[in-house]
Amino acid sequence: MVDSGIYLSDHVPVKCIIAFPSGVGNNSDMYNKKNNPNKKLCNILRWDKGDANMYYYITGLHLQNLQLPYHLLSCNCDVCNCCHRSDISKYYNDIIDVMIYAAKCTIPSVCSSSSKAYWNSELQQLKEDSVQAHLGWEAMSKPRHGWLNNFRLHCKYKYKLALKMLYYHNFIYGRI
């Protein structure tokens, strides 16, 4: 991953350096996909909850074991009439399979039905503020009067109001 601070997007660029060792084997059996029609579709990856370092490690480890199509380096085919498209596609799919395998090992996934389309960073911050205020209130023996209780209630209602407003706004405009 390239992390220089200039990328404002939440999409992370992938940097790949390929060394050409001799005698590379193919471990494609471990990346095969299994189809299970009874399995609920849970395919949203929670990169914020995963172990990115382990993902990079597993990806690097398995990418090194891919069989590289050396003959493509000296290909003189015309772009429109290239006879190596299947080799290129296979190599591309092998790389994608490695990335999927590493993600399955290290990045938790959630079902699409559990995601809220209207959730954003402002709601996340309000929720965290509300939880912290509640924890502080609990630590002080749950006083029913005073500034701490008022602060807890203020954080709670501010979060609930923002949640309700954003939900209804998205509901009215058909985003939910």
The domains of the chain are located at 28-114, 121-172
Q: What is the structure's pLDDT at 8?
A: 43
In SS3 terms, the chain reads as CCCCCCCCCCCCCCCCCCCCCCCCCCCHHHHCCCCCCCCCCCCEECCCCCCHHHHHHHHHHHHCCCCCCHHHHHCCCCCCCCCCHHHHHHHHHHHHHHHHHHHHHHCCEECHHHCCCCCCHHHHHHHHHHHHHHHHHHHCCCCCCCHHHHHHHHHHHHHHHHHHHHHHHHHHCCCC
What radius of gyration do the chain's Cα atoms show? 25
Residues 112/43, Cβ–Cβ less than 8 Å: yes
The per-residue pLDDT for range 148-159, each reduced to its tens digit, is 999 999 999 999
The per-residue pLDDT for range 78-137, each reduced to its tens digit, is 766 677 778 888 889 999 999 999 999 999 887 766 666 667 788 889 999 999 999 999
Q: What is the structure's pLDDT at 22?
A: 52
Tokens of 52: 């990115």
The per-residue pLDDT for range 61-79, each reduced to its tens digit, is 999 998 888 887 777 777 6
Higher-scoring residue by pLDDT: 1, 51: 51
Tokens of 53: 């370092």
Residues 26/65, Cβ–Cβ less than 8 Å: yes
